[in-house]
């Protein structure tokens, strides 16, 4: 990435996209002990930074290239960014979507793209949709707009860095925490700061279930992860881009890996304390502060809130994952003695005064006398689990605690 790449991207996006705010979070600042600022890309057009790269890539095309149309594959923020650019620039686009894309996302893409965008639904997952899109682009000579492995996309994402630098003022920025999926945002931001403000440190933040950039750096090349946890869907990428890897590998960038449960806890705190409705990937950077940085910042730290396209129906799952991560919620298989008062004994003698039952379900509904009950208990303090286990061991009730890695948890969320 050169200075001309970033200057061209800034010029193309000027007056089209929002210059999103840089806001202080009192909650995070007090907890961390240093100023923490949120770069609010969740209020960007299409509610994500992705529109920066998509728009820049399409706007940089010649008239002849635009006449051939564009093709993309995405089930989320990149699709909305491409749709916005197509509608604004008058370019015909086809967006390939996997068949499991929720209807509300399809409707949103259609609304943003208007008559300029056609959706192609592929019977399969995202990888199949992406393969079909790239094949279609080759066959029709249309322009395939990659979500992260494209120099114009990376330069567009890098405009975020210049806005952070300019908004910070004379105090400057010590560190910028950047969520990492395919690596386009990290590559763009890191490259800009190296060229223009090398004193600012950039840290990549990856979810524990999809740390694909760290895997690539360890292998010396982009590699595909054997397994990806799709909960932090905006960064659930099995293999980083070649271009983004080349940029990141040439820089000394530290990383923080964040468990999905910590992301869920941060999502809830962003909403309740900061009034920010973020998607899981949007909470990734600030969740890194819960884990701890690899160094002690000497000045303000910026967390990039990368997007806010969250499905409200997911909040039950978010609350569940958060409570389990914090050690507040535990599950047990309880086999009650077949005698009167067994349940009352469990409530009075096993549960503590501040313990709540959040789930009680017999595993054999047609014959409750022979089957155990699945019981979920929420504690007021995670340390209370020690006393609860002692009471369980001392009671005549047969109780088996369900380990956190059990497949049974998939039925609970």
Q: Which long-range contacts (CB under 8 A, 24 or more apart) does 343-351 make?
A: 345/395, 345/396, 345/397, 346/395, 346/397, 349/391, 349/395, 350/388, 350/391, 350/392, 350/395, 350/397, 350/399, 351/377, 351/388, 351/391
- 3-state DSSP assignment of residue 12: helix
Pick the catalytic residue: 25, 39, 50, 74? 50
- 3-state DSSP assignment of residue 393: helix
Tell me phi and psi for residue 402, to 5 degrees. -90, 120
- 3-state DSSP assignment of residue 120: strand
In terms of C-beta density within 10 A (0-12 exposed, 13-18 middle, 19 or more buried), how is residue 101 classed?
Answer: buried
**Please, where are the H alpha helices in 33-183?**
50-59, 63-67, 77-89, 103-113, 126-140, 151-168
Pick the catalytic residue: 74, 265, 306, 322? 306
Q: Residue 121: count other Cβ atoms within 10 Å of its Cβ.
A: 14
Catalytic annotation present for 306: yes
Which residues are CB-neighbours of 146 under 8 A, at least 6 positions away?
A: 153, 241
In angstroms, the Cα distances linking 14 to 10, 33, 193, 204, 238 are 6, 35, 20, 27, 33
Q: Which residues are catalytic?
A: 50, 306
């Amino acid at each position: 990435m050169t200075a001309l790449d970033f200057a061209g991207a800034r010029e193309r996006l000027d007056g089209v996209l929002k210059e999103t705010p840089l806001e202080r979070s009192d909650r995070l600042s007090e907890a961390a002990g240093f100023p923490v600022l949120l770069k609010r890309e969740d209020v960007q057009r299409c509610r994500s930074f992705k529109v920066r790269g998509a728009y820049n890539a399409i706007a940089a095309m010649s008239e002849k290239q635009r006449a051939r149309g564009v093709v993309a594959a995405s089930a989320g923020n990149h699709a909305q960014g491409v749709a916005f650019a197509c509608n604004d620039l008058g370019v015909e686009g086809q967006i390939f979507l996997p068949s499991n894309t929720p209807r509300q996302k399809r409707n949103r893409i259609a609304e943003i793209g208007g008559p300029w965008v056609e959706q192609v639904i592929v019977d399969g997952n995202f990888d199949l949709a992406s393969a079909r899109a790239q094949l279609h682009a080759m066959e029709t000579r249309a322009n395939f707009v990659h979500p992260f492995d494209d120099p114009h996309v990376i330069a567009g994402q890098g405009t975020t860095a210049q806005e952070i630098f300019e908004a910070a003022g004379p105090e400057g920025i010590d560190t910028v925490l950047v969520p990492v999926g395919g690596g386009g945002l990290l590559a763009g931001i890191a490259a800009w700061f190296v060229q223009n403000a090398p004193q600012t440190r950039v840290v990549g933040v990856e979810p524990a279930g999809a740390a694909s950039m760290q895997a690539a750096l360890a292998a010396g090349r982009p590699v595909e992860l054997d397994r990806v946890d799709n909960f932090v869907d905006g960064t659930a990428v099995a293999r980083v881009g070649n271009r983004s890897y080349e940029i990141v590998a040439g820089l000394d960038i530290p990383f923080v890996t964040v468990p999905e449960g910590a992301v869920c806890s941060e999502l809830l705190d962003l909403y309740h304390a900061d009034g920010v409705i973020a998607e899981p990937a949007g909470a990734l950077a600030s969740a890194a502060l819960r884990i701890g940085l690899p160094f002690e910042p000497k000045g303000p730290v910026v967390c990039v809130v990368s997007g806010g396209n969250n499905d409200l129906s997911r909040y039950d799952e978010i609350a569940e994952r958060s409570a389990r991560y914090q050690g507040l919620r535990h599950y047990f298989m309880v086999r009650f003695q077949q005698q009167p008062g067994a349940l009352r004994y469990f409530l009075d003698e096993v549960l503590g005064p501040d313990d709540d039952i959040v789930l009680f379900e017999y595993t054999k509904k047609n014959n409750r006398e022979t089957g155990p009950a699945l019981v979920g208990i929420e504690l007021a303090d995670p340390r209370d689990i020690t006393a609860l286990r002692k009471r369980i061991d001392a009671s005549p009730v047969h109780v088996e605690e369900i380990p956190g890695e059990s497949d049974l948890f998939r039925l609970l969320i």
